[in-house]
Structure 1
């Protein structure tokens, strides 16, 4: 169900509190300047490559790398990643068809990357039943209408982002189809995906939680739907409230797998290549455990607090933390 007014107020209040859930003495000594927040995030990240990549991705002034082809790969028994080095679509391969999270940037991307990519990992693109658009930027919804036209896939997006793309990109938007409610469950075959509203990156960003299997063993994955902080301070505060709320949801769900639709933001591209090369000793580098998924969200929270603090400071953009 959509968030009610009381729930929204609670989240907005939480966004203003200093590092909630920490001991009182830590809260009293919480950093106040942007650079202090950034430095704290760097300390939280330590030498963890996943967390270090997140710190870098959330630092001000980040420049995007050149886009290169990405060979498709099953990163779990029942999950495949397709796309480029810039943006990826995630295919959940169920007993009754495919749930695709995001659809890349254009019909051409869908035809030339998603369709052959699914075939390359042993899946049939005609089995795509649903396309879940994590947020309303064209690099995530651009191929959705092609997949709907070719295979009859249903396209899902939050109401806020259906409205966003209708206003900003009407010529490129898929036809309005299914609306994602906050906490909605989407079941296909033996897989149930829970779709959570995490606004901030866009007004209607959605982040799913779903089961995955690695060598037959079940894990619980999250996919953060939109990483780069929005420009407006008020939107950053909304983003922060979403991080706090989703972190609590992840804890309740027992999430131990972290995924992202921009693999450059979380060391994901490197982890994909490690799996492809077979250099992980049989382990899956996306299974980072419950403690590290909680730390991932804590790093994101701290970096967002820094970005909000920086908005309120007269000084120019701060340098990225020294760790990254």
Structure 2
């Protein structure tokens, strides 16, 4: 709830060591932004690619090796949305390993419109509800526009030993400001929450540390045989989305009040917020 409070300063924690959150899911982080690696029998699906080629080379690749995974087996890079802190290393990985880069059509357009120097070449387009299968693991990709026009959120099967769970990753958290865009965001919350119910999602993940994910990772590192703190259970994972829905409705009420009165009822949202 605190993470969505207007005026909230975005945390910039130190970079943690790479860690496996589950047997088939690794987190590789610079602290303020993270990538996830889905480890399959036929290679790696990387979810986001940090901010730059340098971070891909100096954080992602050694992190994977430290965890016993071979970066040369990166087959796909799924970019959750078209901001450079998520696609920054994708071009490097595509050029070095031949990894295919996936993004929604709307966010490929977003990237093309801003023309950043390190943008990956336009490659595969993510369709809403698309399933990406590698090595017997199937990841579901859902359009959840709001943070950007083509933000994508994921449903990922994860496992530890014989335990099987279903993880969700909300692709972009910082809300827009206009009533129309906020309604779009609320619609995305509603549709993705339905997908979470359908798949019995019981694990919550984020690509930014707005959910105490780094603290939970350290808890897991210090107690690897204890309960996995990322397994919230279905009701609490749903509650994560319920809190976001409630906060966004508050944002929408503020935006409508600003339109009606010409001034804000609450402090403005920092553009350095959740990206």
Measured against the shorter chain, the TM-score band is: over 0.9
Query: In the alignment, what sits opposite 1:265?
Result: 210
Are 1:133 and 2:82 an aligned pair? no
**2:6 and 2:268 in contact (8 A); partners too:** yes
Q: CA-to-partner distance for each residue in 1:120-167, whole Å, 9 max, x for gaps? A: 111000010000000000000000010001111000000000000000
- Aligned-partner Cα distance in 2 for 1:134–1:85: 18
Q: Which residue is equivalent to 1:296? A: 240
Higher helix share: 1
Secondary structure of the residue that 2:101 maps to in structure 1?
strand
Structure number with bigger Rg: 1
1:178 — aligned with what?
124
2:71 matched to 1:122?
no
> For residues 148-297 of structure 1, what are the structure 2 equivalents within 5 Å?
148-262=94-208, 264-278=209-223, 282-297=226-241
Q: What does residue 24 of structure 2 align with?
A: 78
Identify unmatched segments of 5+ residues in structure 1: 1-54
| Length-normalised TM-score, structure 1 | 0.79
> Which whole-Å CA distance do the structure 2 matches of 1:275 and 1:57 have between them?
22
| Counterparts of residues 8-27 of structure 1 (less than 5 Å) | none
How many angstroms does 1:293 deviate by? 1.1
Q: Equivalents in 2 of 1:67, 1:274: separation in Å? A: 16
Please state if 1:109 is matched with 2:55. yes
Q: Distance in 1 between matches of 2:83 and 2:176?
A: 12
What CA deviation, in whole Å up to 9, does each residue of 1:74-104 have, x standing for no partner? 0101100002110000000000000000000
Q: Which residue of 2 aligns with 1:310?
A: 254
Look up the match of 1:21.
none
**1:272 positional shift:** 0.4
1:94-105 counterparts in 2 under 5 A?
94-105=40-51
Q: Deviations over 1:202-229 (max 9, x none)?
A: 0000001010002331111111100111
The secondary structure found in structure 1 opposite 2:155 is strand
How far off its partner does 1:319 sit?
10
Name the stretch that deviates more: 180-189 or 281-290: 281-290
SS at match of 1:70: coil
Q: Could you give the per-residue CA deviations for residues 26-85 of structure 1, whole angstroms, max 9, x where no partner exists?
A: xxxxxxxxxxxxxxxxxxxxxxxxxxxxx1111111112235222100010110000211
- Aligned to 1:245, the other structure's residue is in SS state helix
Q: Which has the higher contact order (CA 8 A, sep 6+)?
A: 1
> Cα RMSD over matched residues?
1.5
Q: Is the 8 A contact 2:145 2:188 kept in 1?
A: yes
Q: TM-score, normalised by structure 2?
A: 0.93
Name structure 2 gaps, 5 residues minimum. Answer: 258-262, 270-275
Aligned ranges 1:27-106 → 2 under 5 Å: 55-106=1-52
Distance between the aligned counterparts of 2:76 and 2:157, measured in 1?
17
